[in-house]
Structure 1
C-alpha cells in the first residue's frame, strides 16, 4: 500500500495529521528549527495520524541529532562559520533529457531559492524534441544549453564549461531541492581543500511498491550527521555512502585538480551509472575533501514501476564495477581488486541468504539478482563504452 511522505517540524507538531484514506503508513522527515534531524515511518488509521500518540517515539528516534542541533544553536556555533568567509556565487545545473514534467517541478522549486546571485542552467542532453527548450523559455532567469551528444557525464562536463560562477551545484530533473538547499551546500566551501559537497536526498513520494523497495534498498539519504571525507579517514574506493549525483556541488577548479567526468560512465552509455561515485573517488585520491551536509536537503522522485526500479538497481551494479574498472586500468588503483570480494561476502551474499529464507525486512530476490547481474557485466560494459567514446 502507498505511504504518505510528510515533512514535520518537531517544535510545532499538529495534534492530528490527515492524509488520503488509501495511505496505511506515513514516512516522516523530522526537523528541529528547520534542520533535518531524523526520519520515521508510522502507521496511519482511517486517514489520520495522531502525533500525540507517537511524539515520544519520534523524539526518541531523533534525540541524538536534536541535542546536537540544540547545543549548537545555544552556543551559536557552526563548523562552517568563519569570520572572513564570503560565500561564493553558484551555478545550479540540471542535466535532462525528455522529462519536461519532472523538469518543470524542479524548476519551480529552484524559483523558491533565495536570490544570492546564482544562475540556473539547463543542459538539454540529446533531446528527441523541442519540449525542454520550450519549457525553459518560459523561465526568463534560466539559461538553456543544448548538448547534442548523449550521456550524463557529457552533459555534466558541458555544465562545467558553461558555468559562470565559482561553485557548480547539480540537481536531477526528477528532484525538488529545499528552499535552503543551495545555501547549505555553499557554506561548506569554507576551506580550499573542500572540493565537493553532497547533500541529503529524501523520497518525494512513496506511492508504489517499487518506490518503497528502492528507498529501502538504495536510499539517497546518507544520514543526519555532517561528515567530512578524506583520503586518510575513508577508503576512496568506497564512495557509495558519500552522496549521489542528484545532490552534489563542486568548485570549478575541480577541473585542474582531477579533470573532467569520464564520459564513458553513467546514464546514456553502456555503463548506465557510476559517473558521480567515480568522480568522488578521484577527488579523495588526489588528497581533497568531500563534505556530506544533511542540511542541503532535496527530494527525489523514485522510479514508479518495478521494471524501472529493477533496471536502475541493475544499472547501479554495472556502474560500480565499471568505475572500479576505470580506476584500475587508468589510475592503477590496485586496491580495487579487493573490493568485489568484500562487497559480495559482507553484503550481497548475506542479503541473498536472508531473501531466500524470507527473513523479515529482507530485500526481494529479483532486485538482488539484478544488482549482481549488473556487477558481472560492469567491466565489459566499461570497456565497450570507453571504446565507443574514443571513436567519437
Structure 2
C-alpha cells in the first residue's frame, strides 16, 4: 500500500485486547456516544492480541451496525504482549494523536474531546493522561489508596502539571494519549519490556516508552479534565495477585532507571537501588513488626521494595539470556 495516499485524521482511539469479547461492547458503546466531537475526524482501531474467543465476531457486528462518521478498524497482532499490540496500533493509526484505551476502561462522555483539545493546546506535550477512577467489583482493602497506582488508578487533583519522569513518576499506558510524531521519533522499534507475559509478571512496558519520549525532549502531562474508569474485578484485589503484581513492578525498576542515565551515573544508580530499598525494607519491618499477616497493603509494599532491590540482578539475568539467545559470532 502506498502510505502517501492514506488520509491522516485528527484522533485515533486504539484498543489493545486479549479475549475481550465480553468487555469490548461496553467500551465501544461509550465511545460511540462521545460528545462534542462533531467537527473531529477520528477512528477506533482494535488490536486483537491473538485472542482465542470471538473478539473478531464482536468487532464485525459493530462494523456492520455502526453509523457514525468514523472508521472502526480491526487488526490481528499475533505477537503476544501489550507492547507488540501498542506498536501495531502506532503503525496502523492515522491520527495525529493516539489514545490507548484498554478493554476494561470506561471513558467519560467527553473523554475524546478533552484528550484532543489538550493535545492541541499543548504542542510540546508528547504524551498526556488524566484521572483514572477505580470501578471495583468488590470493596478494596483498607488503605488501598497507598497502592492504587499499581492498578492504574490515578486521581491527582484538579490542577494540570508535568509528570516527574526523572523519578519514574509517570502515567500508566491505559488511558494514555500520545502524539504520533513523538512516539515515532523517540521510541525504539524494540523495547525491553513486552508486557506481563511470564509468571513473574514483570512490568515496565508503560514506563519504558514514556521515558524515551521524555528523553527526546517532549513533555508528559496530567490533564485533570480527562476522566475514565478502570474496571477492577475481585481477583485483582486478592492477596496472590497483588503480591505477584508488586514483584513484577519492582523487578523492572533498575532497567528503567538506566534509560535516561549517563554512563557515569549507572554505578550510583546501582548502589542507590540496592541500599535505598534495603533501607525502606528495614523501616517497614520496624513499623509493621508483627502485623504483616493481617496487613495486605504493608505486605504489598515490602514485596515491591524487595523486588526493586533485586532488580539489578534481574537486569543482569535478562542481559545474559539475550546474549545466550543471540550470541555474537566473530568473523575469522
TM-score by length of 1: 0.65
8 Å contact from structure 2 (residues 144, 297) kept in 1: no
C-alpha displacement at 1:93, in angstroms?
0.7
Match of 1:158 among 88, 95, 120: 88
Match of 1:100 among 21, 39, 60: 21
C-alpha displacement at 1:100, in angstroms?
2.4
Residue deviations 1:43-92, cap 9 Å, x none? xxxxxxxxxxxxxxxxxxxxxxxxxxxxxxxxxxxxxxxxxxxxx72100
- The DSSP-based 3-state class of the residue aligned with 2:161 is strand
TM-score by length of 2: 0.75
8 Å contact from structure 1 (residues 109, 177) kept in 2: yes
Match of 1:134 among 47, 53, 57: 57
Q: How many residues align?
A: 295
* Counterparts in 2 of 1:388 and 1:152: CA distance versus 1, 3 Å: farther
8 Å contact from structure 1 (residues 109, 179) kept in 2: yes
Match of 1:172 among 88, 96, 102: 102
Separation of aligned partners in 1, 2:276 and 2:244:
20
8 Å contact from structure 1 (residues 198, 293) kept in 2: yes
Separation of aligned partners in 2, 1:122 and 1:356:
48
Partner of 2:252: 319
8 Å contact from structure 1 (residues 200, 223) kept in 2: yes
Q: Which consecutive unaligned segments of at least 5 residues does structure 1 have?
A: 1-87
Separation of aligned partners in 2, 1:108 and 1:142:
12
C-alpha displacement at 1:315, in angstroms?
1.8
8 Å contact from structure 1 (residues 265, 382) kept in 2: no
C-alpha displacement at 1:320, in angstroms?
2.8
8 Å contact from structure 1 (residues 197, 290) kept in 2: yes
- The DSSP-based 3-state class of the residue aligned with 2:100 is strand
- Which has the higher relative contact order, 1 or 2, with Cα contacts under 8 A spaced 6 or more apart? 2
8 Å contact from structure 1 (residues 352, 368) kept in 2: no
* Counterparts in 2 of 1:124 and 1:256: CA distance versus 1, 3 Å: closer
C-alpha displacement at 1:369, in angstroms?
4.0
C-alpha displacement at 1:350, in angstroms?
3.9
Separation of aligned partners in 2, 1:92 and 1:158:
13
Partner of 2:172: 244
C-alpha displacement at 1:186, in angstroms?
1.8
Structure 1 residue 309 and structure 2 residue 233: aligned? no
Structure 1 residue 195 and structure 2 residue 96: aligned? no
* Counterparts in 2 of 1:386 and 1:274: CA distance versus 1, 3 Å: farther
Residue deviations 1:104-148, cap 9 Å, x none? 322222222134322111111122x24111111121252111001
Separation of aligned partners in 2, 1:384 and 1:102:
39
- The DSSP-based 3-state class of the residue aligned with 1:204 is strand
- The DSSP-based 3-state class of the residue aligned with 1:100 is coil
Separation of aligned partners in 1, 2:147 and 2:42:
34
C-alpha displacement at 1:191, in angstroms?
3.5
